[in-house]
Amino acid sequence: MIRFRGVTKSYGDTESAAVENLSLDIARGAITVFVGPSGCGKTTSLRMINRMVEPTSGTIHVDGKDAAGITPSALRRSMGYVMQSSGLLPHRSVLDNIATVPRLNGVPRKQARERAAELLDVVGLDPAMGKRYPAQLSGGQQQRVGVARALAADPPVLLMDEPFSAVDPVVRSELQQELLRLQRDLAKTIVFVTHDIDEATILGDKVAVFAVGGRLAQYDSPEGILRAPVDDFVAGFVGRDRGFRHLGFQPGAGVPVHPVQTLDPAELADPAVPVQGGWALAVDDGGRPLGWVPASSRETVTSPGQLVPGGSLHRRGESLRSALDAALSSPSGLGVVVDDNGAAAGIVRAGEIFELIEAARLRRGKALHGSAV
């Protein structure tokens, strides 16, 4: 556990503090995200944890010990640090970059390199990449190496400062999912800085929203922040579609899944096979969705290249947000549900999802106010 109590940081000549009277408990083994607009003190708060920045006043305790009484080098050995630019040393191979801290801690070279190769695998990189130099990797690969390097000494705490902000949205989403997967196995205490509220709610067990002037505006679960922002600043920062994003925390298990007519490649190729409702779903030999065949153009649509492209897919077990998005993004209005193998398992309808959302809202209203509102 990392405990901030009344922590203020002023950088000398500036009038207002970078961080103002911050009190916050960061749980062990969880991901805590610091989020907020530029300049609101997120990085400063993060860096005070490992004494890269010293507080002007207040205390930070790490596992019950005052950080001010622990030498910065000892603190940093117990905390991996990942930053936006991966911070890799350009003239060292990937393996040697990852092995840097263990080598400083006295681990023999061979052993440190072996461990580094294992870590490449842990962060989803081909161990053959170990021989490359950082400039020979993509931005996303460099960030993965940065994470591997931070994990190399197996520190209980990981400090991550906008680690995924320099990569494109697709790679960023992959890295986020990878971090969540890693965390399920590693259960580190992770403090993660971002200015992206979506990233914060995807990754965080708890989210600390900072306001300009280094003030902690709200500290809550992602769901709590989306459902009940404490003030106009947080509501504005969380964004206008927070109602929709909040659905990401509601399980989709109760959504009725209906059967859908599917056409395998042989059936698709045969125009004599009719489309029974308004639409049929073309699937590959493994049952995975390829696109839609409208009844109105059944005669002419006989190959995958002619299909009407489908919407997003709702994997069984995902949230109401994913179910609703599947239905709304589907040209047929039918949201395709897939099983763990990616095979079509049926469809969901937006109207029925709305009914569930409404029922949940009424239940919540009753629980909170004693009557439906």
Ligand X SMILES: Nc1ncnc2c1ncn2[C@@H]1O[C@H](COP(=O)(O)OP(=O)(O)OP(=O)(O)O)[C@@H](O)[C@H]1O
Distance CA 342, CA 73 (A): 48
188 contacts ligand X (rule: CB under 6 A): no
Name the minimum Å distance from CB 85 to ligand X.
13
| Among the residue ranges 39-47, 106-114, 218-226, 266-274, the one whose residues contact ligand X (CB under 6 A) | 39-47
The DSSP call for residue 279 is E
Which residue's CB is nearer to ligand X, number 47 or number 92? Answer: 47
What is the Cα Rg of the chain in Å?
Answer: 25
Question: Hey, what are 256's tokens?
Answer: 């009725």
- Using the rule CB under 6 A, is 44 a contact of ligand X? yes
Which of 5, 6, 11, 317 lies at the binding interface for ligand X (CB under 6 A)? Answer: 11
| 348 φ/ψ angles, rounded to the nearest 5 degrees | -120, 155
Residue 332 binding ligand X, by CB under 6 A: no
Cβ-based neighbour number of residue 219 at 10 Å: 20
Is residue 43 at the binding interface for ligand X, with CB under 6 A as the rule?
A: yes
Length, in residues, of the chain: 373
CB of residue 194 to ligand X, shortest distance in Å: 8
Of the candidates 41, 146, 229, 252, which one interacts with ligand X according to CB under 6 A?
41
Which span sits near ligand X by CB under 6 A: 33-41, 74-82, 86-94, 334-342?
Answer: 33-41
Site membership for ligand X, residue 39 (CB under 6 A): yes
Distance, CA of 246 to CA of 252 (rounded, Å): 13
Candidates 76, 115, 195, 314; binder of ligand X (CB under 6 A) is: 195
* Contact call for residue 40 and ligand X (CB under 6 A): yes
Query: Is-contact 309 331, C-beta < 8 A?
Result: yes
**Judged by CB under 6 A, does residue 189 bind ligand X?**
no
Q: Rounded to the nearest 10 degrees, how much is the dihedral formed by the CA atoms of 92, 98, 101, 103?
A: -70
As given in the structure block, the two tokens for residue 203 are 């990754």
Residue 43 or 262 having the CB closest to ligand X: 43
Q: How far apart are CA 138 and CA 168, in angstroms?
A: 11
- Give the type of residue at 120: L
Rounded-to-integer distance, Cα 141 and Cα 115, Å: 18
Residue 354's identity, in one-letter code, is F
State how far the Cα of 174 lies from the Cα of 245, in Å rounded to an integer.
19
Q: Is 42 in the site for ligand X (CB under 6 A)?
A: yes
| 50 lies in the binding site for ligand X (CB under 6 A) | no
Residue 32 touches ligand X, criterion: CB under 6 A: no
The one segment of 37-45, 142-150, 166-174, 225-233 that binds ligand X by CB under 6 A: 37-45
Residues forming contacts to ligand X in the complex (CB under 6 A) are: 11, 14, 18, 36, 38-44, 195
